[in-house]
Structure 1
């Protein structure tokens, strides 16, 4: 017992020290945990060699990690995923697993007879890292963009696929129809019992203890381990039970409160799990590094095949097809969980299986972080190459139209450069209050969603990147009378409002240019660059909020909200 406490102390200390190094180098923190475990374990400096300690640390961390993953799974997002997201995810997951099984089987990894390495590697290779992707997209402010939504939608459905695999994983040795049916019944019993209790019993209990943070935290942990034990009694696994316990609580009114209370414990046990996993990484021999490079190359290649292809054939455009493929090109932390469960169940026979996946996770975590940060530049460079080899982009589909049915390459008096929510609202106001101007409007943007909505409204749309001079010349900006830039710098890709205004002014010296500023000091910069007017959205928002505050002080806030609801009821914007 004292040895276990000592081992946990060393794990946390090593994770913290190497975590500081990772933060300084701007690398994913999980890499530090794996490196810490490797340094402490039998392959490193051998500070911890007890198999029992390593196993206990890893299993405890794994149960809490899966509980928290379950808490963060949004069932509503799974049910409301759009057609393009759902089809892309299905193609990516199924094709990735099939290609993986065939590929790794050909390389000599087992598939049956007690050795399921090829299947586990295929599953691990089909999953992408939620932690890394969400962090990078959040930093880039791309969580709410179309490419971000597709990426996150695929991640959610990947998690669902992993859950389905965990349901049959304990019975891989006995895949007869009767055994599979029995496993399915056990899973249904576990899920039904868990959801019933979480809906009809837990709310009353948690309502009573909501004001006591300690009881809220203990109650959440008790729920996690009790459902985990039920999973074990049903011959599934404690880990499967913990995952279902988390998913059940994710639909629960107190889910956010529970998550907040358990976050500190989650971080502690996640640290232990990944440090414990790092202890199991063997010494990186030339052979193991070679296997890791093969696994990493397979992951990247299959991501490009299985993500780019369905998006391209659904006519999402080259850029929209490329960026999600770049975003998803890494190994998931859930992949390491799956492999850890396989090792625990005795399903892995090849000595390189877990080590190669862990090293590939480390390598791709670093490379994909860089790749995602530069995804727009990579896509901008790859699009011309793909066009030269014969792939068509949306600008060559021949269905860009004018409001009166003419060709998409004419000229318009008013041009929107970029199209997001502000432009969508402006277009709606034009249609309601200045319909005569609608015939004079054209939009330049590379969003397939905006393109489809604008074509439906018979608004001229020129597909292209507004940061490119050729796109602007092709759109005919030199003949426009009014050029409107509504996208702030934080959302612009490959340019800024200042550079865009200077480029527009060089192409059209006489046009009236309306630009957008987020920072007050930017107004003078944009005017000096050649803008005729600069809109500062926060000033209009402040004015609206002031009216709301005044209405609140006079007891009229409900009326103001009713007025807003009435106005929203009649609006049918291109973008929500």
Structure 2
């Protein structure tokens, strides 16, 4: 009965939060505080406290496991990611620690722990914002996610130190874990696409990573992350992460409920959260300045910094281990930062357009390698978006059209295309500045194969604004998007499933030598 009440409160308040444009976890925190106010009979009976704590811990382990699945070193071994994250962490701690020590009158170690907790930004919020806007692979999205992964690693190191785990001699076996990778890869290949895939993820995160690492005196959180990282380069790592998404989110609801139930916010906690929110812009400004220092353009620096201008659920995880007495004030702080950050990120592009004239002069004269202006040269046909559809279009045209080119915003995907001898370059079609610097002297046709409708409409609109009069074709999955794409400037928009059906029918006609309508003469009809 108690669990049913938890679910009811979490669902209702999560829906309310989403309805007003906030992440549902804000609602879960409020649900926890509400249940706490109702007393132990309804909120958290003593016999249920251990169960909720266990559920919360499972949610943290699954979160770290899925972070590990995305831990591709080529995405974080970049100067702007490593330098930006470490410099921001160091500067933030140097500023926050003495301020907290003097203002709050707390001990040095306690002030340092609070400063560390406040230095992190939210992986969950940034990932959800980027996913909803289809910008996970855009340059600014990759920079933000790389910095967040670095912060997660720092948080994990802090948790391991403060948890007081004493490794056993068997902990050295961890260094042999890479030898397990072939076995893990074969297991992942053998599980298929159904519930066995989910069970494999749970087993690896909770049993092998969690219990296994605890058995040798190491942090279970470290274990979940390491086991996930071992699978990061497997082609199905993303599928495994997606299959665990809902399970992880449900368990994380327990984590946020537990925080809310751990105590009621008082006046001091609310004041702490308000002051932390007031200094939040300084956190974003510091990220912006650091990214500009690493030669990023103002647009990328602004969009990445805005994603990072919040406080983190990882700060709460660190606090739950090292600073349990500060858990409630930090929970209010995180929730308030989400209330500020989420709406701003929804209007990030219009915000940049409005203030670009003030930010652009701050750019370095030298550009980041991934942000060089692009010239199409003698390209006659351009394919924008080199996923499966774009690749199929490229292969269909490459023999008959020598002046063919593709662009994409995912460097890893571009590398694969270049290895396959395709002419593909880096560009973000949703970057307004890209269109301002694009040189396309001989372009005659454009094929829009971007995933999201916004990218297609932006590309079509900007091409026409630049004076392009050639043919623009696009694909789309939805009927209601056809007119939007055409109104943006495209000549034709084809429904993907319809075109697939036609292509299949053509294959059957060719196989069975069935005459097409064009082959039938009037006498035959």
Q: Structure 1 residue 378 and structure 2 residue 367: aligned?
A: no
The secondary structure found in structure 1 opposite 2:471 is strand
Change in Cα spacing, 1:543 to 1:318, as seen in structure 2 (3 Å) is farther
Deviates more, 1:148-157 or 1:216-225: 216-225
Deviations 1:296-337 (A, max 9, x none): 3334422330x2223212222100111010111222222211
> 8 Å contact 2:66–2:228 — kept in the other structure?
no
Q: Which residue of 2 aligns with 1:513?
A: 470
Determine the C-alpha separation between the residues in 2 that align with 1:525 and 1:548. 29
Q: Which residue of 1 aligns with 2:50?
A: 56
Q: Which residue of 1 aligns with 2:258?
A: 276
Determine the C-alpha separation between the residues in 2 that align with 1:165 and 1:382. 38
The secondary structure found in structure 2 opposite 1:376 is helix
The secondary structure found in structure 2 opposite 1:330 is coil
Q: Aligned runs of 1:289-368 on 2, under 5 Å?
A: 289-305=270-286, 307-344=287-324, 348=325, 353-368=326-341
Determine the C-alpha separation between the residues in 1 that align with 2:196 and 2:471. 55
TM-score w.r.t. length of structure 1? 0.65
The secondary structure found in structure 2 opposite 1:515 is strand
Deviations 1:332-382 (A, max 9, x none): 2222111111245xxx5xxxx323211121112222221111111112122
Q: Aligned runs of 1:161-200 on 2, under 5 Å?
A: 161-171=154-164, 188-189=171-172, 191-192=174-175, 195=177
Q: Which residue of 1 aligns with 2:517?
A: none
Q: Structure 1 residue 155 and structure 2 residue 137: aligned?
A: no
Q: Which residue of 1 aligns with 2:33?
A: 38
Change in Cα spacing, 1:147 to 1:218, as seen in structure 2 (3 Å) is closer
Q: Unmatched 5+ residue regions in structure 2?
A: 416-425, 513-525
Decide which of 66, 69, 79 is 2:73's aligned counterpart.
79
Q: Unmatched 5+ residue regions in structure 1?
A: 1-5, 172-181, 404-411, 454-460, 555-576
Q: Which residue of 2 aligns with 1:569?
A: none
Shift of 1:197: 9.5
Decide which of 58, 62, 67 is 1:68's aligned counterpart.
62
The secondary structure found in structure 2 opposite 1:518 is strand
Shift of 1:431: 11
Q: Aligned runs of 1:425-436 on 2, under 5 Å?
A: none
Shift of 1:135: 1.8
Aligned residue pairs: how many? 491
Q: Which residue of 1 aligns with 2:452?
A: 490
> 8 Å contact 1:71–1:247 — kept in the other structure?
yes
Determine the C-alpha separation between the residues in 1 that align with 2:70 and 2:510. 33
Change in Cα spacing, 1:418 to 1:260, as seen in structure 2 (3 Å) is closer
Determine the C-alpha separation between the residues in 1 that align with 2:260 and 2:4. 16
Q: Aligned runs of 1:211-222 on 2, under 5 Å?
A: 217=199, 220=202
Q: Which residue of 2 aligns with 1:174?
A: none
> 8 Å contact 1:71–1:255 — kept in the other structure?
no
Q: Aligned runs of 1:463-502 on 2, under 5 Å?
A: 490=452, 492=454, 496=458, 499-500=461-462
> 8 Å contact 1:198–1:248 — kept in the other structure?
no
Q: Aligned runs of 1:99-110 on 2, under 5 Å?
A: 99-108=95-104, 110=106
Deviations 1:429-450 (A, max 9, x none): 9999888x89xx9x9x99898x
Determine the C-alpha separation between the residues in 1 that align with 2:320 and 2:265. 18
Change in Cα spacing, 1:211 to 1:513, as seen in structure 2 (3 Å) is closer
Determine the C-alpha separation between the residues in 1 that align with 2:161 and 2:168. 11
Determine the C-alpha separation between the residues in 2 that align with 1:545 and 1:109. 72
Determine the C-alpha separation between the residues in 1 that align with 2:380 and 2:93. 46
Change in Cα spacing, 1:18 to 1:500, as seen in structure 2 (3 Å) is same
Q: Which residue of 2 aligns with 1:20?
A: 15
The secondary structure found in structure 1 opposite 2:472 is strand
Shift of 1:8: 3.7
Shift of 1:421: 4.4
Shift of 1:34: 0.9
Determine the C-alpha separation between the residues in 2 that align with 1:420 and 1:527. 18
TM-score w.r.t. length of structure 2? 0.71
Deviations 1:161-185 (A, max 9, x none): 22211221124xxxxxxxxxx9688
For the aligned residue pairs, the C-alpha RMSD in angstroms reads 5.6
Shift of 1:530: 7.2
Change in Cα spacing, 1:373 to 1:142, as seen in structure 2 (3 Å) is same
> 8 Å contact 2:457–2:484 — kept in the other structure?
no
Determine the C-alpha separation between the residues in 2 that align with 1:260 and 1:528. 34
Deviations 1:466-519 (A, max 9, x none): 869x986x9899xx7867665569365696466546645xxx5xx633334335
Q: Aligned runs of 1:184-263 on 2, under 5 Å?
A: 188-189=171-172, 191-192=174-175, 195=177, 217=199, 220=202, 224=206, 228=210, 240-245=219-224, 247-248=226-227, 251=230
